[in-house]
Amino acid sequence: MRLVTDLGAAPEAIASARAEAQGAFGDPAVFLERYAPRARHVEVQVLGDTHGTALHLGDRDCSLQRNHQKLIEEAPAADLPETVRDDMRAAAVRLAQAIGYRSAGTVEYLYDPARGEYYFLEMNTRLQVEHPVTEAITGIDLVEWQLRIARGEPLTLAQSDVQFDGHAIEIRIAAESPAEDFRPETGQITLWAPPAGVRLDTGVEAGSVVSHHYDSMIAKLIVHAPDRAGAIRQAVAAMDAFAVGGVGLNLAYQRALLLHPDFQTFRHHTSGLPEMFPDGWTHPTPDPRDMALAAIALHLHLAPAAAGASPWESLGSWRLTAPAGRPGAASYWDTTNDDPIRVTGSGTIFAAVPPGGQTVTVETAALTGDRLSGRIDGVPFARIAHVERARDHWRVHLQTSAGMTAADLRTLEDQHLQRATGGSDGADLLSAPMPGAVAEVRVAPGDRVEAGDTLVVLEAMKLLQSLPAPVAGVVTEIYCAPGDTVAGHVPLIKLDPEENT
């Protein structure tokens, strides 16, 4: 897609689009459509059989998008004038009838609220990712009907038979980091514990490997409630109970979108993400109290697996004035803070003191599976707390009031290793953040670069990632070339930092 606001720029934009289309699809054809700067993306589901019958199954709104890729879909489209809704649905049916369409399909529109007008975009001649929200509000199995129509069966439904019940929302769950410009996340899923009671379409499980060769979407979460507000609440509750380890997902970002005032008051549109988060979006982090609970969870995780376990298997953090095991005192460090979190206690009573925070004391503390439980000030609690080993530290996935967060902690041994190796920043090295294919190398040995300059473009999960220089300096070594497939965390470019030149 190319946006043209000045007619003089059209020839270059068309040529660029034709070249990209030829390379991607083997077809250089392009078409023009009106640009609506604050439009909503509304689409109508249709069914057509081989006997001349066509009908619609209502509409959907798919306006929350990044880079023209849908993030959240809902049915029916909310806050749409009924006259516009009726026109869209009728036009979709006329289109299907005019071409003799036979199957499930989607007619897509842009709706311009400022003008009160809508424009045809395209027809997708297939089931779409978001079809479950239509199934939820109609009770009609679209996959079944697609197969029955392909077999030549007539539709046994009349338009009057299609009834709509409540509101449905679908969340696209992707292995990516929205806080880092949607950087793809790859690796092995160590924990996959989706919430109960909601529909989840997925093809992964604990032990699955998320590869850079495919699109980043790995699941869809679908909720259905009597109204839109109830569907939003249900989706947020489901995401707050969704525990995943090993690979980062976009759940916290999707949660923030659902709760954003623009979405809740229908001010969202297809280009609205920069308006919703003008300073960018930051992944929620545990507050001092939650960080204290994360440290207690790690403390319990590193305890002997069973009574009588070998002390050599139970060591993991420094302890004072106590026998081998976890009783006594241990310090843990947040990877972004030099001040330790001190954990003391024995048996089932533990206290943690976070830097600058108040002491958190947990009675009857226990870490069972991936759930931390106990009592604080006499009030019982139970939270998801999944502990896993990251590259050079421990990561605790903790359920908080802000949703699932991740606390990155180091033990005393980790701190010593960090100091011994001089840290892991590698300020003079640009490394691959994930596996991928090198699309471009934009520098040569001897080039002087500024911090933030793009040095390498990496292709992963169908997306191009621009990798910036970590510091200003001079390029001394290049370890990759266009077309190379590289593993995650391998060095790509070596720099001589500016202070050394």
Per-residue 3-state assignment (H helix, E strand, C coil) for 62-106: EEEEECCEEEEEEECCCCCCHHHHHHHHHHHHHHHHHCCCCEEEE
Take residue 357 and report the two structure tokens written for it. 């925070």
Return the higher-pLDDT residue of 310 and 293.
293
Provide the residue ranges of all domains of the chain, joining segments of one domain with +. 1-32, 38-276, 288-419, 429-500
CA 479 from chain centre, in angstroms, equals 31
CATH architecture of structural domain 429-500: Beta Barrel (2.40)
Quickly list DSSP for 291-357: HHHHHHHHHHHTS-SSTT--HHHH--S---SS-SSS-EEEEEEETT-SSEEEEEEETTEEEEE-TTS
Q: Quick one: pLDDT at residue 6? A: 94
What's the whole-number average pLDDT of the chain? 89
> What's the CA gap between 414 and 412, in Å, rounded?
5
- Residue position matching structure tokens 């040569």: 444
Give the DSSP letter of residue 128.
-
* Cβ–Cβ under 8 Å, residues 13 and 2: yes
d(CA 167, CA 136): 8
Check if the beta carbon of residue 446 is closer than 8 Å to that of residue 456. Answer: no
pLDDT tens profile 168-207: 999 999 999 899 888 888 889 988 999 999 999 999 999 9
Question: What is the C-alpha separation between 400 and 291, in angstroms, rounded?
Answer: 10
Highest-confidence range of 26-40, 180-194, 219-233, by mean pLDDT? 219-233
Across residues 64-70, what is the average pLDDT? 90
| More confidently predicted of 437 and 236 | 236
Residue range 413-435: mean pLDDT, rounded:
72
pLDDT at residue 281 tops 90: yes
Q: Is residue 391 very low, low, confident or very high in pLDDT (cuts 50, 70, 90)?
A: confident
Give tens-digit pLDDT for 452-487: 999 999 888 777 888 999 999 999 999 888 888 887
Give the pairing type, strands 349-353 and 176-177: unpaired
Among 3.40.50.970, 2.60.40.420, 3.30.470.20, 1.10.3710.10, name the CATH number for the domain at 38-276.
3.30.470.20
According to the model, what pLDDT value does residue 421 have?
54
State residue 26's pLDDT score.
Answer: 92
Residue 165 Ramachandran class (φ > 0 left, ψ -120 to 50 alpha, else beta): beta
Q: What pLDDT is stored for residue 305 in this prediction?
A: 43
Cα atoms in the 13 Å half-sphere on the side-chain side of 156? 5
Closest C-alpha to 185, from 175, 197, 195: 175
Average pLDDT over residues 344-358: 89
Instruction: Give Cα separations from 154 to 6, 43, 161, 396 (angstroms).
Output: 50, 24, 15, 54
Class of domain 288-419: alpha beta
- CA gap 309, 306 in Å, rounded: 6
Percent of the chain clearing pLDDT 70 (strictly above): 92
DSSP strand pairing (183-184 vs 199-202): unpaired
Mean pLDDT, range 64-86, rounded to an integer? 95
User: What is the model's pLDDT at position 314?
Assistant: 47
